[in-house]
Structure 1
């Protein structure tokens, strides 16, 4: 019995560290969680009410042939992009152009060939990536997207060369194998596309979530001071756990139903359960590149765009996701990279 008890404890401690796909079949997420399926572009029938209602994406990429374009009098970079079918940012990058993107008649511009997706209103980067069975992080790198990762309506995204030409032919298993989701994907790819010239707007009310097709505003600045989100037993610390497994945060054991409190002032960037390993998950943007994550919640009390204060209850801890005992998975990220929360939290007695 003693050996069995130790084995169960070890499973709980390491459960928040996603294992390799080849030898692991995760359990399904619990049905009682709030869900936000539209972030991925698919909305099941009778889906619960949610602020995540981004537009489902239909694969409609158009192929552009590689070549050279000779700039004509009156040409603009955007006009050349519209004429050739390539993305303006891709053209700029391929030709070493920087803002304000000055071009001159007679100049020869390299046009990068490939398949391009034209962004429509309400589409998110994650939804676009899933529609083509491609990792969102690959689209970010290929298109040199930068913070705050807000797409523009009409923007053309170059797709990875190895994405299928007809994504509709992919089976469910093939789609699952080609597309996964992690916290960084949500941080960089969950904002709905805006019309050209439009700006993200502040939430209209302190307690009210912003409209589904409005981007959230990142707080202007943050001091970098945090408080503990729960009081409990440290089950797993930050860093490598051997065998290629890494914990990007802390796992803190607490009784089920324990209030989860915001570690600092900020704006809710995500509240849902699309990342199966974490179950109920909340992300808070604090400004200056700081983001905190709270996983394995049984109840989510906040919605996207809602402003919260340090110490405010944002959810209740549980054992959703791939864990065997109630706990909180807590992360602190700076400029998208996980950092050891212990360094930034007050010392415990």
Structure 2
């Protein structure tokens, strides 16, 4: 299991194999940690999905796809996919459309994807796949999200039902932002941790990221990316040993997507969005120094290494993800030389 942390630093040519290079100079000792509230809370969502029967609809003069969606109860995107309609979803009178059946939840302001999934006892990643949601994963008020069928839910095992309430990094990346009005813009990043975004504000990701990352801290590499160890578990990042309290620095410039401890296995966790589908994750942290929606510079201290989460020694778990998929940090970090 893996969470992530990463930071920028110069890499000495003499760095020994298997040891992360030293970080950029840490902040002065006088800098005091800033306690942050969790950025995501499971909010109440009323489970009132409509069940739509599969049918066919003949387009009338003046019809729009959104109007047909409201009339039939299906989602605009679901109808467009069923009929291979590319944006901007142009239709013509007399055209026959397939209306896909299923359960649809109408999104209300401030609802998060995670909260919607929990209201119906389903895994959010399954909903993402079912609706083919793409970055930046911002839901819109009035949007109709297709849910797994009642038959699929009733066939779930006890373990699958329990797993639907467990969060992972991908859940937060794709389902942690609150829904906005149809034409409402995301919120620009703030500069300090004291200016916390309101709970119904969606974070705006950076643009034009160059894809350059740096190491987060010095220390022996405890575990590398991929499948390994005696139990054959997969690590979605790398784990770096550290003394408790060691500063953890941002691997690259970005915006804080999450800073909290809702994922038990990772403990204190910070997720940074760098734009263009790039995400970095930093786990097993304490003394989180940043808040959701805050603009972060490369090399800025974001927390301190600790043993929070399901680990038995202080360390930093660091991941790099591109378009939801974990990638080997060794391919994107400077050579240890």
Bin of the TM-score, shorter chain as denominator length:
0.7 to 0.9
Partner of 1:210: 197
Counterpart check, 1:193 vs 2:192: no
Map Cα deviations across residues 259-307 of structure 1 (whole Å, 9 max, x no partner): 1111111100111112211111110011222111000112222111011
- Report matched runs for 1:257-272 at 5 Å: 257-272=245-260
Q: Which shows bigger deviation, 177-186 or 311-320?
A: 177-186
Partner of 1:228: 215
Whether the aligned pair in 2 keeps the contact of 1:237 and 1:251 (CA below 8 Å) is: yes
- Report matched runs for 1:2-13 at 5 Å: none
Map Cα deviations across residues 68-99 of structure 1 (whole Å, 9 max, x no partner): 11111111100000000111110110011111
For residues 126 and 40 of structure 2, the distance between their equivalents in structure 1, rounded to whole angstroms, comes to: 23
Whether the aligned pair in 2 keeps the contact of 1:53 and 1:212 (CA below 8 Å) is: no
User: Aligned match of 1:101 in 89, 92, 104?
Assistant: 89
SS at structure 1 position matched to 2:287: strand
Partner of 1:129: 117
| Unaligned ranges ≥5, structure 1 | 1-14, 18-33, 36-47
User: Aligned match of 1:82 in 63, 70, 90?
Assistant: 70
Partner of 1:181: 167
Structure richer in helix, relative to its length? 1
Give 1:345 shift.
1.8
Q: Quick one: higher RCO (CA 8 Å, sep 6+), 1 or 2?
A: 2
Whether the aligned pair in 2 keeps the contact of 1:54 and 1:123 (CA below 8 Å) is: no
Whether the aligned pair in 2 keeps the contact of 1:153 and 1:193 (CA below 8 Å) is: yes
Whether the aligned pair in 1 keeps the contact of 2:2 and 2:236 (CA below 8 Å) is: no
Map Cα deviations across residues 38-92 of structure 1 (whole Å, 9 max, x no partner): xxxxxxxxxx944435742121111111111111111110000000011111011
For residues 177 and 50 of structure 1, the distance between their equivalents in structure 2, rounded to whole angstroms, comes to: 21
Give 1:140 shift.
1.0
For residues 169 and 133 of structure 2, the distance between their equivalents in structure 1, rounded to whole angstroms, comes to: 17
For residues 255 and 40 of structure 2, the distance between their equivalents in structure 1, rounded to whole angstroms, comes to: 15
User: Aligned match of 2:55 in 42, 67, 88?
Assistant: 67
For residues 292 and 190 of structure 2, the distance between their equivalents in structure 1, rounded to whole angstroms, comes to: 13
- CA RMSD after TM alignment: 2.4
Whether the aligned pair in 2 keeps the contact of 1:291 and 1:333 (CA below 8 Å) is: yes
| Unaligned ranges ≥5, structure 2 | 4-33
Whether the aligned pair in 2 keeps the contact of 1:51 and 1:211 (CA below 8 Å) is: no
Map Cα deviations across residues 207-259 of structure 1 (whole Å, 9 max, x no partner): 53322211111111111111211111111111111655211111111011111
For residues 163 and 203 of structure 2, the distance between their equivalents in structure 1, rounded to whole angstroms, comes to: 30
